[in-house]
Amino acid sequence: MPNFQMINAGGARIRAVVEGTGPLVIMVHGFPESWYSWRHQIGPIAAAGFTACAIDVRGYGGSAKPPKVEDYSMENIVGDLVGVVDALQPGAQAILIGHDWGAPIVWNATMIRPDRFKAVCAMSIVHAGVPHRPLTEVFDELFTSRNRFFYQVYFQEVGRAEHDFDSDPRDFLATFYHAISGDAPAGSWPNNKTADQDLLTGLQRPPGPTAWMTRADLDYYVGQFEGSGFFGPLSRYRNHERDFAYLQQFKGRKIAQPSLFIAGDRDPAFNMFGGPDPVEVMKKHVSNLQGAHVLAGCGHWTQQERPGEVNDLLLPWLKSQR
């Protein structure tokens, strides 16, 4: 059974699975996941001589679920990570690992609080520096103004996506996990939808459980979202303007701590808008990038789809940070 702890992080109570002793490693999941997305990493990290801590981000699972959209700002979630360090190892510097939304969370936490975070590993999403404009403006220019569907625009209206997902969490989760995984056929993510359509329209339902997402795995995720709902998770996407304003004070600051990046070459989030090589872009903003690995045939769910390969890259790097 997981060793759950409820941690008073100051701004919120955060549920975490904590195993092992040694330097603190905090794992931060993305959308729509939970601490459980790190199930293949917790034990090996603990066995390697670290305190492995996989959290439920606020709004998810057993963590606090505050009622306002602004409660899910980057500033608040970075504060939660600092609070977890203060609670588990006061005065220490932790190592951060993040995937999907967890990646920009850990990148920004490392940039904002170098006094509390000494190294960072991100999966799926590169760090491209402090933004020059809110992402909502980019989405409008590339998608909405051209009457093209984009999932993050669909997420903006409070209640719209919640209604669709809460009505059948199992169908949403199974479909979404499959659609951007390495298992999905090429072209399975429809690019011809109009702006007024919803996320699930046109997505292919999965043929059944897979080695990386078993029926038991899906059952666990479904149970978590049946309990938490989707308001908190979706509200992370509703803070783009607020996050933009907050991050401007750090303009020009690079991430100088030792960094590692892992992604899949079939992950649509790795190169969401096309253009230059994301890793080359990241090197301008991450001055101590010690490795950037792109796994062939791997989709979006990096550490779940390829746990062995991820652990083989992650554990030696972690040990080098002692």
Q: Which of 1, 36, 80 is nearest to 173 (CA)?
A: 36
Residues whose CB is less than 8 angstroms from the CB of residue 170 and which lie 6 or more positions away in sequence, other chains included: 218, 222
190: left (phi over 0), alpha (psi -120 to 50) or beta: beta
Give the Cα separation of 133 and 131 in Å (integer).
5
**Distance linking the first and last C-alpha atoms of the chain:** 28
Catalytic residue among 178, 240, 285, 300: 300
Give Cα separations from 142 to 45, 273, 317 (angstroms).
Answer: 41, 9, 37
| Tokens 């990386």 -> residue | 212
Q: Which helix (H) or strand (E) holds 291?
A: strand 289-295
Per-residue exposure over 26-45, b if at least 16 CB sit within 10 Å of its own CB, e if not: bbbbbbbbbbbbbbebbebb
Catalytic residue among 56, 71, 100, 267: 100
* 29 noted as active-site residue: no
Q: Is 74 exposed, middle or buried (0-12, 13-18, 19+ CB in 10 A)?
A: buried
Sign of the four-CA dihedral 103, 2, 5, 320: negative
* 240 noted as active-site residue: no
Q: Which of 277, 274, 263, 270 is nearest to 306 (CA)?
A: 263
Structure tokens at 159: 């209640």
By annotation, the residues acting in catalysis are: 100, 300
